[in-house]
Amino acid sequence: MNVENTKALLTGASGGIGRAIANRLAQGGALLTLVGRNQETLQDLNRSLPGKHRVLVADITTQTGRAAVLEHARAQETAMLINAAGVMDFQFVEQQSSACIEQMITTNMLAPVLLCHSLIPVLRQHEQAAIVNIGSIYGSIGHPGFSAYCASKFGLRGFTEALQRELADSPIRVLYLAPRATLTDLNTRAVDDLNKALGNSVDRPEQVAEELMNVLARSRRQRFMGWPENLFVRLNGLFPGLVHNALVRKLAIIRHHAQT
Ligand SMILES: NC(=O)c1ccc[n+]([C@@H]2O[C@H](COP(=O)([O-])OP(=O)(O)OC[C@H]3O[C@@H](n4cnc5c(N)ncnc54)[C@H](OP(=O)(O)O)[C@@H]3O)[C@@H](O)[C@H]2O)c1
């Protein structure tokens, strides 16, 4: 899909990956609505972008916030929804509070599902429209220390896959981009240390934004970023026992970092 002059609504715009996506889309001539909870941060971002864009302050975990997004999308005749907002807590699930688990599932899965649900009629008004859900490699591999986060991203991937099929004969392309570890504030020091200890590569947010442009240009239904992560996703589908054993061998290291 061509982004030039496309009205795109981006959640998580103030985040590390969101900013990079906003920059890349603005350079491509998209007309953006930048969604987040902090007006000042969004306005600063808006001033830094080429072109004219809008800011919408909304907490997507609330009914009021999602209603504001829908009202704005209707008024602006939005043609593209990018769900990039997300939260993550690295802890073994026994140590996590129920509020923290609820926040992850609500922000990463329920909110994007409900935003897709309410915006589909708006997107349908266009000859060409798109939904892009930002998932994660952890949406395909259950990783110790990230159980609830994995649940939210597995859920988002399942929803996206089914929606792709439901809307296959509509003008709306439904796309899924799964980054691997990326250098943003989402990852605490403990996660950064774990990635180092496990030898995991970490991408820059600009690489994710570039990949999003490729996904849009080629209407790629699913894109898993990085090597060997890409291979592990496939292996986990075909031979989950192999990935299980490999991760269980690292359990002591993961537990150590989750407790720091
Ligand atoms: N970084 C990684 O390693 C990595 C890897 C794979 C996938 N991802 C996924 O990529 C996406 C972007 O992550 P990131 O690394 O850019 O994270 P980030 O830098 O922490 O940014 C998170 C963004 O989500 C927004 N957000 C969180 N809760 C919200 C809420 N209730 N309502 C509205 N906005 C909310 C934040 O906005 P405000 O706080 O300003 O409201 C912020 O813009 C997420 O879906 C994440 O799961 C990240």
Domain annotation covers residue 104: yes
Query: Does ligand 1 lie within 6 Å of residue 15's CB atom?
Result: yes
Q: Encoding tokens for residue 187?
A: 């990852």
Domain annotation covers residue 1: no
Structural domain that includes position 186: 7-258
Rounded-to-5 percentages of helix, strand, coil across the chain: 55, 15, 30
In the reported structure, the alpha carbon of residue 52 is separated from the centroid of ligand 1 by a whole-number distance in angstroms of 23
* Secondary structure (DSSP) of 29-75: T-EEEEEES-HHHHHHHHHHSSS--EEEE--TTSHHHHHHHHHHHHH
Q: Which atom of ligand 1 is nearest to the CA of 85?
A: 24
Q: Given strand 80-83, what is the order of strands in its sheet?
A: 54-57, 31-36, 7-11, 80-83, 129-134, 172-178, 222-224
Query: Does ligand 1 lie within 6 Å of residue 179's CB atom?
Result: yes
From residue 8, alpha-carbon distances to 32, 177, 195 in Å are 5, 16, 33
Domain annotation covers residue 188: yes
Q: Supply the residue whose CA is at minimum distance from atom 1 of ligand 1.
A: 182
In the chain, the number of structural domains is 1
In the reported structure, the alpha carbon of residue 186 is separated from the centroid of ligand 1 by a whole-number distance in angstroms of 6
Active site residue ranges: 149
Q: Supply the residue whose CA is at minimum distance from atom 8 of ligand 1.
A: 136
- pLDDT for res 260: 82
CA 181 to CA 22: how far, in whole Å? 19
Query: Does ligand 1 lie within 6 Å of residue 61's CB atom?
Result: yes
Q: Encoding tokens for residue 69?
A: 């997004």
Q: Which residues of the chain have pLDDT under 70?
A: none
Q: Are strands 7-11 and 222-224 parallel, antiparallel or unpaired?
A: unpaired
Q: Encoding tokens for residue 256?
A: 């150590």
Query: Does ligand 1 lie within 6 Å of residue 38's CB atom?
Result: yes
Q: Encoding tokens for residue 237?
A: 């589908």
From residue 2, alpha-carbon distances to 35, 69, 79, 130, 204 in Å are 21, 23, 11, 10, 24
Domain annotation covers residue 163: yes
In our burial notation (b when 16+ CB lie closer than 10 A, e otherwise), range 71-98 reads ebbeebebbbbbbbbbbbbbbeeeebee
Tell me what percent of the residues of the chain surpass a pLDDT of 90: 99
Q: Which atom of ligand 1 is nearest to the CA of 208?
A: 10
pLDDT in tens, 186-206: 999 999 999 999 999 999 999
- pLDDT for res 164: 98
CATH number at residue 245: 3.40.50.720
Domain annotation covers residue 2: no
Please report, as a single letter, which amino acid is at residue 249: R
Instruction: For the beta carbon of residue 14, count every other beta carbon within 10 angstroms.
Output: 22
pLDDT in tens, 24-40: 999 999 999 999 999 99
